[in-house]
Structure 1
Amino acid sequence: MEISIPPEPERYALESQVRECFGRCAYTHKTHEKMAERGARRQRIMKWCQIVLSALTAGGAIGVVFDRNSVVFPYATAVLSISLLIINSYVKDLDPGKDAQLHREAASDIWNIREAYLSLLTDIRDPGCPTVQLRQRRDDLQALLHKIYRSAPHTDGKAYGQAQDALQHREDLTFSDAEIDAFLPGPLKRKAAGTC
């Protein structure tokens, strides 16, 4: 029978706080990923709309040149040109591609902090790591995270909801031992080592 030694109250409190920080980082990272996906999708749609409207406008202009008696080509070309102008004016002030890139960069930076919090949680369980050192690492991570948050673009509730669904229901952040074993060479697999 395995005897469980209760953690020191000081370490337990530190671990609890770091767990909270890790959870917040996981959600923020995933939310920025969802914002990046939406920005990239919005950019693709806008670019395709511009291409299609440009092609139709050019086709209408060619139709006007070759069929001067048609009433449809001039009006259709005018409507298409105005539609293209509206989309181009809208896209001029918005840059969904740039926004997506900023969210990708923020997610990447936050991912690194999230992984550092995970390593810190592992080290907290090691009785050989001094609590003072663990607290210093926590404080350093908090300072780094603050710098990232200050320059990161804002997210919205929709992206947070998508992140929540991905983390809670689709388990985007977790792997089973079998999934991890599939990536590792034989000697590093848990099933091969018999510890699973």
Structure 2
Amino acid sequence: NLPYFKNFDLSDKIKQHRVTSDKLWDIREDYVSLLTDFGTLTNEEIIFERNELKNRIYTVYCHSPKTNSKSYKQAQQALKCDEEQFFSAEELDRMLPEQLREKK
């Protein structure tokens, strides 16, 4: 195991994960923009834009650093049991553009 750790650069791994995170955040913002534009786009344009976003996500994941089983299990635990990244209906509503929010 020693040669593996000798060549392992943790700061590079952290940087790679940050780059991936930034790219995914940008795509998320483009999804929100697409939702905002629903009223001005045709169904075909919406489908095209959605597919473009899906392709961008696929590309990001293909070039992102891979994880190990320990990290995967920790993330699974956080999402499943600790309910991290779960949002209430009110929180989700606030994330949407104003014209798409639930009317009260």
- Verify same fold: TM over 0.5: yes
In structure 1, list runs of 5 or more residues that go unmatched. 1-86, 182-194
SS at 2:52's partner residue?
helix
Q: Please identify the structure whose Cα radius of gyration is greater.
A: 1
Corresponding residue for residue 37 of structure 1: none
Note if contact 1:113-1:141 (Cα within 8 Å) is conserved in structure 2.
yes
User: How far apart, in 1, do the equivalents of 2:41 and 2:36 lie?
Assistant: 7
Note if contact 1:123-1:129 (Cα within 8 Å) is conserved in structure 2.
no
Note if contact 1:106-1:148 (Cα within 8 Å) is conserved in structure 2.
yes
User: How far apart, in 2, do the equivalents of 1:128 and 1:145 lie?
Assistant: 24
Structure 1 pair 95–144 and aligned structure 2 pair: CA distance change class (3 A): same
Structure 1 pair 156–90 and aligned structure 2 pair: CA distance change class (3 A): closer
User: How far apart, in 1, do the equivalents of 2:29 and 2:79 lie?
Assistant: 16
Q: How many equivalent residue pairs?
A: 93
User: How far apart, in 1, do the equivalents of 2:40 and 2:47 lie?
Assistant: 14
Structure 1 pair 110–168 and aligned structure 2 pair: CA distance change class (3 A): same
Match of 1:134 among 17, 25, 46: 46
In structure 2, list runs of 5 or more residues that go unmatched. 95-103
> Does 1:106 pair with 2:34?
no
Per-residue deviation, residues 75-112 of structure 1 (Å, max 9, x unmatched): xxxxxxxxxxxx7x664311122112211211221233
Corresponding residue for residue 152 of structure 1: 64
Structure 1 pair 117–150 and aligned structure 2 pair: CA distance change class (3 A): same
1:167 partner letter: L
Corresponding residue for residue 96 of structure 1: 10
Q: Percent identity between the aligned chains?
A: 29
Query: Could you say what the CA RMSD is over the residues aligned between the two structures, in angstroms?
Result: 3.4
